[in-house]
Every structure is written in structure tokens, then in C-alpha cells.
Structure 1
């Protein structure tokens, strides 16, 4: 036991001396005169009151120390996921949960046996970790749609940090499908992890849909491929039907022959979308005789169906390899329909006249257009189309009529051209700050390889980018802008101020790594300019286009006023509508400047639409809408057997031992023989802040009240 003060104890002694002196001075003589006995009593009451006040003002703290013996604690993590029902090897689906409990019971009983040293603390492990109490077996539901063993191994030491944790026991089938690698967590585990492998380790007959792949986007009245990979264990070598369904309706069906034994087989299906929007497809195969589970015999996938392909008008300056290089890239894009026109010296077009209606085009690509022979009225039609908001992509060409660019397209160009432009060869360079821009997200190629490509012909004198433009590429020698992009009032435009890109299509073998750069850049530029700029004051989006069956459906939102300033005090109401037309109202929660979120929990399988409206007081700020889908989650059934090899690896890497339900009773003796699994003496300290104790306040009041009462009784003033 020890005292400590917020200030120096010497200062406290000084205050007590002052209090004693004041008390003596007060009662050295009284009117009327009192006997020495009464003066001592009154002075004592006052001095004790003042002394207590001084004592408490110095914030005294009483520290007490005690020692306690903590028994060793064993954290038992029990896998409570759906896969435990599968590996239980029950004959029927209705009995699998009971069979899983039966397989777990001897392990739990052994760990709760009186001969087991220390104290066992039980936790349920699935998508997350949760402590168990009461009847452990009855608490297990085996309904977790995901298994995150790593989070359980990390959570146990954190939850038991105030106890003497000396070991962890993991009871599982070894199947994990979410979170970090459990082996890496075991490497860093502060205590040994002992494993008990539960379930059937033999490879039983099982047919499962391993993967379903299709296009992320498709178009009406077009054939969409769907590739299915089936995996089978103990296959019968017989033909089966693979069915592609949507809302219970069969879209396509194929016959494939399963291999004998274990293997994979591929099936290619197709369908033609009949309506636009987010579509959910399901691939299904029949259940085999004697199959361990049929829960993995189906898998769903979602894709977005658009009404039509992107319509692109490509206008050249004259027949040239630059024009051919652009057309070749755009025509190879599956989501693009290209209409090309190449001027002739007579002012006509090789491919025929321009379409009468240009409003159907989504993007205009000026590949050097216009050149001198193009009639002025044709140039004005294109300029009007762009002025009306159609996105435009400009490519410079030696035959480009720069005077026409200045006269007709100055408002759309992201950089101002010179009256005359001399071209000189220069390597194309991407500044470091621009390399994260979407136009440079090119698969299988490094952005730095642009500088190794053949040089392009770029303007010798720098063009002037508009104030709201962004320079993404420069000439390596002069830093003059070569690739400039701009977003203004919802319209996107881009300009490539260099010519000779056809050289990038004819690369030597030593530059094979750079081959994807040109088609990737051209495609990304087209995609970027044609993406609608979102200037809406209300923007609400789901965090995923497709949610798993047990995943929580969540949304993020942004709200702005007419000046595009964030609004933090808006009320954002949202309505989610299912396929039957049933509406579910929600209100989003504000989380920051103009930021809102909503988590509505899990939803049944299907396709949903949502509509959001933001209001401030009675004023409507804007609306937004969209759609998303919820797919059944069958990930727990993708590997329907126990994995003892993984469980042994996990135990060995943490310094533990691997057991089975038949050998788990040996764990008691093993722990008893370990010096590390023992009780520890813990010195604990407790503090009491006496200056916060109400008893001292009561004592001070009693002393002062007693002094006042005696003074009145004795007739003192």
C-alpha cells in the first residue's frame, strides 16, 4: 500500500502548518472567554476540517498491490461453417447438422474433461470469431457461409490478453476461403496452435461448378458466350446436361461427358439478352448418384446488358497508315461499331457521304480531320455535333487544316493550336504524376515502356492547354504537350498532338513487351471520352454490382448543392425494389462532408432496383437510381472434404501438434508435460483516487457543522 500526491508532499506539510497556525490564532482567545478544554475541542474540529481540505486538494491516490495465480488458459476455436456439414458425411441433407455435432462432440468432451489442465475458453469461428458459453455443442449451428480461420487465430489472443493464454486448439475441417492465410498467422502466433482435423478426409463423389465466366457487358440481340468449368471427384464417366438458366427459364443446354475418376471438363454455352439492365444467370448441373453434396452443383454470375454498342464516327484527313492504325484498334473492340469516312482530293469520302443523321453517334474521332479538300459545310456539321455535347477525340495529322481546327473546334479542343505547326520527331513520355490516369491502365504492359517506342512527330513549338485541361503525355526532349485531356460541363475531349503512331504497330521482337501499349492507349482514350461525366448533385452507388448470398448489401452516396459544394445536412431517402415490385424504404447515414452510407443487411437472391432522393428541409437537391443483384453463396461447398495436410502444416508452423478426434485425448498429457503451459503469478495493482471519495466530503461537512453548532451553543460570535 502506498500514497501518492498530485503535488509535492512537502508543500502539503507546509499547508497543514499554516492551517494549524490559523486555527491557533483563531482560538487563542475568545469572546466570551472559554476554558482551555473547549478551545481545544473547537480548534481540533476546525484543524481537522482544514487538514482534510488541504489533503484532498493535493489529489491523494492510494495504491494497493496484491498477487494472484492465473491458471493456464486454452482457447478452443470450433469451425462453425457450413462446410462442416458436408465433411460430416451424413446420408441426407437433413441429418448433416446433427452428424456434424456428433463428429465434434468427442473433441469438445475431451477438452472439457477434468483431466485437462488449465481452463478452456471456447470460440465459434466462421466469417468472424465469437465467444461461446453454456452448452458448447448446442451453441454450434454450422451455418457460416464463409470460413476465416485467420481472424479466429488473431482474435483469441486479443480477447484473452488479460488471461494466461498458453495455447490454442483449432477444431476444423481445414477448409478456409476468406481472410488472410492462416499459415502466415500461425507463423506469428504468440502461443502454439494445436489442430484437430474433423470430417471425412477421403475423396468422395462430388460434381461442382468450378467457375462461370462471361462478358462483363453485353448488348441486346447479340450472342453472349458463357464458359463453364466443371470439376468432378470419383466421376462416373457418363454424359450430363449443363443448363444455363435465368429466373427459372432455360436459356441454353449442352451435353458433356464427365471423366472417370477426378478431373475437369469445360462446357461452352451461349444466350441472347432480351432486355437491358443487370442480368443474373445461373449454371446448373444435375446431382450424381451417391454425391456427397449438391449445394455446389450451381453457380450464378451477373452481367450488364446495354441496349446498343458504342457508335463511333471516325473521320480522317486522307488515306494514311495513321488512319488505318486507329480504325484497326476501334474495329477490334467488341463493344464498338465504327463508321469511318476518309476524304478524297475532290472533297468527297471514299466510303460514301456522311450519314444524314449524326445524332446517333456516341463519339467523334477526328483522325486529322478536316483536311483542306473537305467542304466547309461538312466541317460545320461535325462542329455542331461536338458543340452539342458529343465527346470528341482529336488526333493530329500532317494534313490537318489547323485553321479549320481554330475556327470550328477551338471550344472543344483541350489545347490551343498554333497558326502553323512544324513537326519534329520526339519520344512520347508519360509524366510520373499522370501514370495512374485511367487511360494508362493497360494490361500486360508497363507505362514506362512508352519511351522505348519509336518516336512520333510532335509540334516543335508547345501548344497551350486550356486552364481546365490535364497533360498526360509530353515530348521527351521539349516537354511540349502531346496528350491532353479535358472535362468541361459534362463533356470529355482529348487530343493526341502527334502523328506517326502507325510505327507503334510495327515493333521489332525485342519490343514485344510494349506491343499492348498502342491498342491499349487508343481503346482507353475512346472509352474515357465516351464515359458520361457525372455532374449530378446526388450520386448513390452500391459497393458491388453483385453481392453474395450472405454478404451485407451496402451503399455509398455523395450529395452536392448547385455550386457542387458538399452538403452534410441532407436527408437521403432510398427505396429498394425487388423483382416482385415490393418496396423497402431506407434512410442513409451521414458520415462526412457530403458523404453518406447505408447498410441494409442481407437480401434474398435476385435482381433489385434502387432510387435515392436527397432533400434539405423541404427542398429537393436531386435523385439517383440504379440496380444490383444478390447471388446465392455456395463457397463453403467448393471443397467437400477435410484437409489434414493443411491442419498439420498449421500446427507445425506454430509449434503445436496435430490431432484427430481419436487421438485428441493425448493433448491433456502433452500439455501437462510442457513447462510453458503452467500457472503464472501476476502482481496486480489497484488505485483509489481518495480526492474523488464522497466520504471525505461528508466528514468535512460534519466537522464544520460540529464546530458551528458548538460555537452557537457556547455563545461565540
Structure 2
């Protein structure tokens, strides 16, 4: 009976439906039993009670055998297992996200569906390299260092611990903590990804709660993560496969209508590509987001494919930052073969691929085959071309055209030996400023790869099937020209530096590209201003990358005025009321959601080329009430480059989304084999009892 009561109280039945059915069933059984037993002797009645009790127990076992209800049941007389919960209390957790941490932890403690009554949470707090007890909680005092698991944990206590949960943003190890590859790999800025191994103590990390692998100080997805986790944790299920195959598949389901499936390669340190598939309750919304995260402290793998005739190979090799990269050079001979017996098929997918050539690399089929494979793996790619190339000729053929952006710049071609080999200078009415760093935003040079090919472009584009590379850098022996391709526009960058300073400048450019783990494109825009005749003031250029951070290394001039980002790879935005728009979560870039929208204002419908949304943080009131709404501090709708509407304080609703990796707890329960054995025992007892009382 104790077992029966324990089973009943632990079954995850759905609300009052079960109890209503149970009452109706008991009432019906009482009516049937009264009619069946009328006039029977007490001995027979006692026998019937025992027989039907055994049959009822057998029926319950049959239900568990075939339907497998969800229950957290441990048939064991041993002491309850304990779950060790490690809470990161580093600086980032104590400042901006302290309230979010408290809310998540409080919800975690109160979650009955995830933590059985037969399991006890043991809380410990990590601060830097030390672990200390958390005030007011039943915690274990860990003295000394965390390397790789608390050495002060006694053997009896260690045997009672069933699982370990880690709450952290992954930044508790910033070069000071002894946490290392034996337990969790981590380097500054790039948060932790666990290999989920068993530690020398025999314990493993059963759960890791990490916010989206991004910095905790400035990420809105973390807010979405905390909000959703605190609201939906009790209804969420998480699982992760064994990492023996070097690939962990993480699957998260929240309230049946939110689902994330992530594949993570955990075999070795380096940059790992994460692919999230986010589905909301809206069946039309299925967003696939790719992220790259750096794991461990390994050196980055850079592959350089270059033409042996290209004079700048040595410059590129010397200019790579020598402390954090491993360079694999694949040098092509004049006949299009690789030197040094390099096999492109055995080349590992690099963190950064560099193509250095005069534009003819695509003529080599082996090279094109290798590059095609790398592109399919979504590796950040940069193509470098020296000055006398086909691309150089393509740009040179544009010398008769006026390429004007907001009336500010007129590129011209000047003879060889002038200030710049390509002769592209920034002209503003009334004068020039040769000491200024210019980023020139031009209309698209070519709308597609086919058009590029028809104008004498780079053959490799056609072979690898990519419309445009992420970036093209044309190199000259004295001065470089950098062209970034983003949102359909080419970004031309040049800096008037002499030959003696070239390697220093090149090091800045390449270091910036390599250090961007996800190879975010640079998005810039000239300040809109009216230039009148005689106005000799310099053009003000504001530059930020698409994450909102200023470019480093003194490469460009910055202004305090924020640039409107022109990326539009996003979802739809529908107006659902005055000043209110309904949207679905897509890509997030440090405070900006990029949306392409058709907005209906004052009864007039027109397409918007660009909608830039700056998201304000969650307020404490919103978090406490659970309202899933984000406030927009500004919504700028543009058409043809002009702002046609600007609304302040617009509300935007987003579906709740999880950014969490969780390892499923394996609660001990009744196995199918034991169910069959118990059923045989029950029916055997019934058969033996019926023979004893003469009812056979």
C-alpha cells in the first residue's frame, strides 16, 4: 500500500481530470461490488477483497508497463540523493544581472517537476577561484581551490551526490581561476562550453545553464533567457547526447511550443559553430541562427591559399599575430598545383581562410573544390588581391562613372604614382583632408556574381557559387584598399600610409578580422549632411561594426553619433495597433533587432527598405510580472535612405525563447523488467490464494 500511495502521489497527471475519473471509477466499483456480493459469506467477501486488490495492483503495473507515466520515483531505502548546485557569483553576476540570477535560482528551488522530493539541493557559491557556502542555504563549505572538483568533498558526501548543476555566464575563469581543460575550458571574453567529462572524483556536470554564449554585460538574449527560464523552467525538458562521438546534440523544449536543437563539436579546443533552430507557437516562424563560439585556449587555425607569384605572401605571413594563430600555407605554383605536397582534402576547416592572389585562383579546380567545402561549413572568408588584378581592372573600368553617396564623395582615377595607386580620393566641395581615414559607402558595384563575371571579375566566385565574398582586400606594395561587402553595398576603405608602415597597418586589419570569431561584417554609413559651395569643413564619418562596438587599432575615425545599421536580414513586422508592432525574434546584434517591414501609417501602405530597432533593457517591473514585452527606445523606418517615420517608446512583443543547455537528470525509477517480474508475482499470489479458499 505504501508503494501504491507513493506511485499515485508521484504520477504526473493532468490537473483535476485524473481525480474526477478516479472518483467516478471508485463510485462505479462500489455499486458493482455491492450488487455482486449480496448474500455472500464474510469469508468469501474477504477473499474477494484480496483477489480484487491483487488484480488492481496488476492493472496498475500494466499501465506503467505500456503507457509509462512520468514519475519521479526512487524505490530505495537509502538516503536521498543530493544535487550539488554551483552558483557563479563573479563580478558580472553581482552587478547587472543580480536580480535575474536571484529570480532564476528562486524558481529553480521551487520547481517540483525537475527536482524530486527524494532529492536534496546542496548549494555552493563560486567567487573567482574559491567556492564558499551561500548564506542561508544548506551548503558545503569548500576551502581552497576548485581544481578540478572540490577536494574537500568527503567520500560519503560525494557518493550521495547524484548530479551537479552549474549556474554561470561562463566568465568566471578570466586567467586567474585554476579551472582548466580537465573540467571546463574557457578563455576571456569567449564564455565556457563544457566537454561534460567525468571528473577525477567520478562526478560529472549534469546541467549547465549558460546564457547564449555571449557577454553578460550587454546582451539582450540573456534577458530573454532569464525571463523565459524563470517563467518556463518547470515545464521545460532538456537532454544532451553522449559526447563520445565528439558531437553533442543539445535539445531544449519549453512548454511544448519552443524548441532548440543544437549541435556542438566538443572534441578539441577552437572555434565551434553552433546552429540554433528556434520555433515559436507561430507555425510560420522557424528561425535558424548560427553562432560561433571559441572553446579552450588553443591557437587559431588560419589557412592561407596564395599564388606563388603574388609578392605579398611573405608580408601576410609576417603580419599575422604570432601569439594566437597557427598558419597553414597552401602555395600554388604557376601550373596550378600545390607546393609542399599539401593536400587540400586533408585541410581542416580553418577559423579564417585567406585567399591571396591576382584573381585567378578560380582557374584551379582543386582550389575551388577546397574553397567550396569551406564555404559550405560557413567559415569566415576573406579574399585578398594584390593591386594588378582582374578586380583591380574591374574597379579601374569604373573611372568614368560618378559614384556618389549622399553627394559627399566623387571617386576619381588618377595616374600611377599619385597619392593612391587606384586614385580613389574623397572629394568634398571646397577641399580635401588627406590625413583623415575614410570609409566610403558606395552603391552596389555588381548586383550578382553573374554580373561580376560578365564584367571581367574574379573566376573563383563562379566556381564556388558565392554571389560575393564577405570581404575583399586589394593589396598594393605601399597602400591597401579594403572592400567589405554587407547588405548589398561594397565598403571601400583606404588609408594614406607609407610603405614603411604597411606591415603595421596590415597587422591591424588582419588582427581585427581574425579576432572576430563570428566574422561580423562592418556596416557603416556616412553622416547625412548638406554641403554647400565654399564649405571646406571635413566630412564627418561615424563608424561602428554591426555589434555597436567601435573599431579598434585606430583604423577609422569615430563620432559620438550613432550610425543606423542597414542590415535587413530579418523577419516581418506587422502593425497591430497605433504605434504598436508585432514581431518575431530573429537575429540579435548587441541591442539591435534588424527587421524588414511593411508599415501602415495613416491608412497608407508602403514598403520600408530599412527598419532599425534599438531595444531597451527589461525593466524590473516587467520581469516580476512576467510580461514578455520589450520596449523600443527608437523605431526608425526608412525608405530610399530617408527617414519617413520615427516613433518613440514603441512596444514590441517577442515570443519567449530559450538560450540554455541542459543535461537531463537520470532519475532512478522502476524498470520495465521489474514491472514484468512484479506482475508475475501478483498474478501468482492471486492464483495461489484462489486455490487456498476454494475459488478455483
Same-fold call, TM > 0.5? no
**Highest RCO, 1 vs 2 (Cα 8 Å, sep ≥ 6):** 1
Higher share of residues assigned strand: 1
Give the shorter-chain TM-score range: under 0.3
Structure ID, larger Rg = 1
